[in-house]
Amino acid sequence: MAAKRLFLGSHLPMRAPDSYLGTCHLALEYGETAFMFYTGAPQNTRRVPLSRLKIKEGRSFLADHAFPESKIVVHAPYIVNLAARSDPLSAEAAVSFLVDEFRRVAGFGLTTLVLHPGSATGETPQEGIRNVARGLDEVLERDGTNVRIALETMAGKGHEIGRNFKEIAQIISLSKNQGRIGVCLDTCHLNDAGEDVKDLDGLLTSFEETFGLRKLLVIHLNDSKNQRGSHKDRHENIGYGTIGFSTLEKWVGDPRLADVPKILETPPANSIQTYKKEIAMLRSGIYDPKWRDRFL
């Protein structure tokens, strides 16, 4: 039986001493065909030199297992905020951190960086949108890689920018580097922002009209702890939230999304072994009720 073409995996840790090699081992162990990681702690910008991360070892392990590197993505640290520019020093710090981060992504042999647009804390949403476009242009002007940015759709918590397709589209259209900016759809964020995630056809039609489907670079596949429109952003395990297994399985199986890497960012109930179980269920299309009880 030919295996279905499916690029599905999870967010994975990268920890010393095995670093990237260890991350790649975990991906195989969990049955993943795509994954995402941070190049360092997501809450700060301290970074270990690439030479200490066992990248060569990781990449040759991936090659031995015919793992598609094009389906591996990096997530930028969430403290990077391009939307707020009231503090010129921190704006410059965010830009130069991202320039370095692009170099790191390329150093792993990868081409996709997921980025939160940021929060407009001291400015209007429109100013925030303009700031993000300007910040991205400053980064890309100084960048010598071919890394693409995937701007993530957000739940609309607080002053978050990117709470709907329109805001993301405005950022892209204001940028001078539109060809290097795409989109990451997060099912939990979409739901919490008020979109109907169950209406996949409707969402994809609207995405196609706004961006063109080619701009869809990454999907974050999460259930949500909260109701549609709650603006909360609390991820839930597959099948335990308000989105539900059958909808998420529809996203996994849709042929229009076949080439897009799908990444779980669900809560690890005691152990990230939960990813292995969630992936197996989504792959088979068979839901195992109360599966999480075995991990608690």
Indicate the residue whose CB is closest to Fe ion. Answer: 220
By the rule CB under 5 A, 32 interacts with Zn ion: no
Q: Between residue 196 and residue 215, which ones bind Fe ion under the rule CB under 5 A?
A: none
The one among 101, 123, 143, 186 contacting Fe ion by CB under 5 A: 186
Q: Are 74 and 39 contacting, i.e. CB atoms less than 8 angstroms apart?
A: yes
Q: Which stretch binds Fe ion (CB under 5 A): 14-22, 98-106, 183-191, 274-282?
A: 183-191
d(Cα 284, Cα 274) in Å, to the nearest integer?
16
Q: Are 162 and 129 contacting, i.e. CB atoms less than 8 angstroms apart?
A: no
Angle between helices 165-174 and 200-210 (to 10 degrees): 20
x/- string (CB under 5 A) for Zn ion, residues 251-280? ------------------------------
Q: Which stretch binds Zn ion (CB under 5 A): 17-25, 85-93, 114-122, 226-234?
A: 226-234
By the rule CB under 5 A, 160 interacts with Fe ion: no
- Decide: helix, strand or coil at residue 2: coil
By the rule CB under 5 A, 233 interacts with Zn ion: yes
Measured CA to CA in angstroms, residue 250 lies from 239, 245, 265 at distances of 13, 8, 18
Residue 57 vs 97, nearer CB to Fe ion: 97
Instruction: For residue 38, give the H/E element and its range.
Output: none
Which listed option, Fe ion, Zn ion, none, makes contact with residue 233 (CB within 5 to 8 Å by class)? Zn ion
By the rule CB under 5 A, 220 interacts with Fe ion: yes
By the rule CB under 5 A, 262 interacts with Fe ion: no
User: Which ranges constitute the DSSP H helices of the chain?
Assistant: 19-29, 55-64, 88-107, 125-142, 165-174, 187-193, 200-210, 245-253, 274-284
Interacting residues toward Fe ion by CB under 5 A: 152, 186, 220
* Residues at the contact surface with Zn ion, assessed by CB under 5 A: 233
